[in-house]
């Protein structure tokens, strides 16, 4: 019995050490990257005259509560009206979304008409249908960039001017992601979402942009080159996270994805935990699907080309979320506490089972990982709030981030277990029609 106990302790200690070491690598990399997120953010391009031609597709499924206000906001965009068009993609709605589009006079594509076979699932399938109906070849001749928005999104009026200027002066990259902000921060959960985005925007997206690394596509508020999109089959994606799938495809095709910190879109964040769990489970499922299906390709590309961007993408794909890190940090502290009590009480069996070598490695990695969690949850959060965010109650923001992170544990685990299941897209309901804060 004693031998079995020792074996179990050895197995647990090895697993913990490997996991902690991997988390240490992730955290060191993230900490280094974050250094480029500090400081004043200034445009690294001049505002040019309107030139780029935009097609804006607004993905909508049963959005009668928000679509009219969204379109009203989009009509306030400050850009040459002859250089952009807006279409609502009314994707199999069973409510009044289509009728409202007719009433307010916005062009829309009704996928429920079934003119084309559905390619993929959920939102990307609806977007692909719209591209089919509007005409792949015609669109490529008429527009330069396709911008994707969700039906609940509001945008800054300068969004197309900034995208046009950056795209023209930065060598016409394959895609540009704009700043992802929040419509609502009233509930503690929605505040957690917003805080996570504010930190990510500055210490991940902005930092990587400054370093010349590929930025992440966030599912909405991004613009992609139509010629690249059509060369790669449009939105015919297989996962529940078409944004991440597109991002990896652009990187693998030697394309570039840039970040714009000066033009924002405002997304509605869930206020209820049930809806949030469902949304984040879908994100996790899609994320792991893309990660497992691209590990070999990205690894091979790195071996052949020796370009760090592939390692960067692998670290991102196989990164540990804050929820998992919080859980592992808690387990690590528990193990250290047990070891300390056992050593003080003279329980040599437990002390010897873990071993001195294990503790010599485990203690410093645990300390650093906890320090980094504190750094993320306090220092980077407070800095991001001061520079970019709207929440001024720092204590509330920290609690919200902790709540958001800890509730992510479940969704990341379920997403990992269900990563092969990519056939069901669960819509996130929207109801907020006014931004709480209007940026000047």
pLDDT for 302-346, tens place per residue? 999 999 999 999 999 998 777 778 888 888 888 888 888 888 877
Q: Where are the beta strands (DSSP E) in 152-309?
A: 154-155, 175-182, 222-225, 257-267
Note the pLDDT of residue 2: 57
| DSSP structure class, residue 203 | I
pTM of the model: 0.92
Rounding to the nearest 10 degrees, give the CA dihedral for residues 378, 379, 383, 385: -10
Q: Within its chain, how far is the Cα of 436 from the centroid?
A: 22
pLDDT at 153: 95
In angstroms, the CA 97 to CA 109 distance is 11
Who has greater pLDDT, 119 or 324? 119
* CA 299/CA 310 separation, integer angstroms: 7
Cβ-Cβ contacts under 8 Å for 418 (sequence gap 6 or more): 281, 285
Distance CA 399, CA 189 (A): 10
**At 96, is the pLDDT very low, low, confident or very high (cuts 50, 70, 90)?**
very high
Which range in 265-279, 312-326, 358-372 is most confidently predicted, on average pLDDT?
265-279
pLDDT in tens, 4-60: 767 787 787 888 888 888 989 999 999 999 999 999 999 999 999 999 999 999 999
Mean pLDDT over 226-252 rounds to: 94
Three-point CA angle 116, 117, 120, nearest 5°: 125
Residue 273 pLDDT greater than 70, yes or no:
yes
Tell me what the mean pLDDT of segment 339-363 comes to. Answer: 77
Please tell me the number of Cα atoms within 13 Å of 150 on its side-chain side.
23
pLDDT in tens, 76-88: 999 999 999 999 9
3-state DSSP call for residue 92?
coil
Question: Up-side HSE of residue 192: CA atoms within 13 Å toward CB?
Answer: 20
- Percent of the chain residues topping a pLDDT of 70: 96
What are the backbone dihedrals phi and psi of residue 418, each rounded to the nearest 5 degrees, phi first? -110, 25
More confident residue, 337 or 93: 93
In this predicted structure, what is the pLDDT of residue 437? 46
CA distance 382 to 245: 32
Q: Which of 111, 160, 150, 151 is nearest to 131 (CA)?
A: 111
Tell me the average pLDDT across 393-419.
90
pLDDT of residue 305: 96
Tokens of 138: 């015609």
**Average pLDDT over every residue of 145-153:** 97
Per-residue pLDDT at 40: 95
Average pLDDT value over all residues in the chain? 91
Q: What tokens does 111 get?
A: 């996928």
**Whether the Cβ atoms of residue 137 and residue 105 lie closer than 8 Å to each other:** no
Q: Compute the average pLDDT of residues 60-89.
A: 96
Q: How far is CA 40 from CA 43, 97, 245, in A?
A: 10, 42, 32
pLDDT exceeds 70 at position 438: no
When pLDDT is averaged across residues 275-281 and rounded to a whole number, the result is 91
Rounded-to-10 torsion of CA 198, 203, 209, 212? -160
pLDDT in tens, 156-194: 999 999 999 999 999 999 999 999 999 988 899 999 999
Name the band, by pLDDT with cuts 50, 70 and 90, for residue 440.
Answer: very low
**Tokens representing residue 204 in the block:** 């991940």
Question: Taking phi first (over 0 means left), then psi (-120 to 50 degrees means alpha), and beta for anything else, what does residue 143 get?
Answer: beta
In this predicted structure, what is the pLDDT of residue 13? Answer: 80
- Contacts of the segment 300-303: beta carbons below 8 A, 24+ positions apart: 301/252
Helix, strand or coil, per DSSP, at residue 171: coil
Helix, strand or coil, per DSSP, at residue 89: strand
User: Are the CB atoms for 153 and 146 separated by under 8 Å?
Assistant: no
Q: How many Cβ atoms sit within 10 Å of the Cβ of residue 186?
A: 11
Q: Residue 375 carries which DSSP code?
A: I
- Tell me how far apart the alpha carbons of residues 386 and 158 are, in angstroms, rounded to a whole number: 22
What residues does 404 pair with on adjacent strands?
A: none
């Amino acid at each position: 019995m004693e031998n079995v106990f020792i074996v179990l302790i050895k197995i647990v200690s090895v697993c913990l050490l490997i996991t902690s070491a991997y988390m240490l690598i992730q955290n060191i990399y993230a900490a280094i990257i974050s250094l480029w997120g500090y400081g004043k953010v200034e445009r690294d391009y001049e505002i040019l005259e309107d030139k780029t031609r935009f097609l804006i597709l607004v993905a909508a499924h049963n959005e009668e509560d928000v679509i009219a206000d969204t379109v009203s906001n989009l009509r306030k965009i400050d850009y040459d009206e002859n250089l952009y068009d807006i279409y609502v993609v009314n994707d199999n709605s069973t409510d009044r979304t289509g009728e409202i589009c007719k009433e307010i006079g916005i062009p829309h594509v009704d996928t429920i008409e079934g003119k084309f076979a559905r390619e993929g699932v959920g939102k990307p399938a609806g977007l692909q249908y719209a591209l089919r109906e509007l005409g792949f070849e015609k669109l490529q001749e008429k527009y330069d960039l396709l911008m994707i928005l969700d039906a609940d999104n509001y945008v800054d009026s300068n969004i197309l001017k900034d995208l046009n200027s950056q795209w023209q002066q930065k060598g016409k990259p394959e895609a540009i992601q704009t700043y992802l902000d929040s419509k609502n921060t009233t509930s503690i959960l929605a505040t957690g979402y917003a805080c996570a985005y504010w930190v990510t925007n500055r210490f991940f997206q902005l930092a990587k942009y400054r370093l010349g690394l590929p930025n992440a596509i966030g599912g909405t508020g991004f613009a992609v080159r139509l010629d690249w999109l059509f060369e790669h089959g449009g939105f015919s994606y297989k996962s529940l996270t078409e944004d991440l799938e597109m991002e990896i495809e652009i990187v693998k095709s030697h394309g570039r994805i840039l970040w714009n910190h000066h033009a924002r879109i405002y997304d509605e964040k869930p206020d209820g935990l049930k809806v949030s769990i469902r949304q984040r489970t879908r994100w996790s499922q899609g994320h792991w699907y893309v990660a497992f299906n691209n590990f070999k390709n990205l690894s091979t590309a790195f071996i052949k080309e020796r370009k760090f961007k592939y390692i960067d993408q692998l670290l991102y794909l196989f990164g540990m979320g804050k929820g998992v890190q919080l859980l592992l940090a808690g387990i690590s502290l528990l193990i250290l506490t047990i070891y300390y009590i056992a050593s003080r009480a003279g329980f040599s069996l437990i002390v010897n089972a873990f071993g001195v070598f294990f503790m010599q490695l485990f203690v410093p990695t645990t300390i650093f990982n906890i320090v980094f969690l504190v750094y993320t949850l306090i220092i980077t959060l407070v800095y991001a709030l001061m520079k970019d965010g709207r929440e001024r109650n720092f204590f509330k923001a920290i609690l919200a981030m902790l709540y958001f992170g800890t509730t992510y544990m479940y969704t990341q685990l379920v997403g990992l277990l269900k990563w092969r299941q990519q056939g069901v897209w669960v819509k996130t309901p929207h109801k907020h029609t006014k931004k709480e804060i209007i940026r000047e």
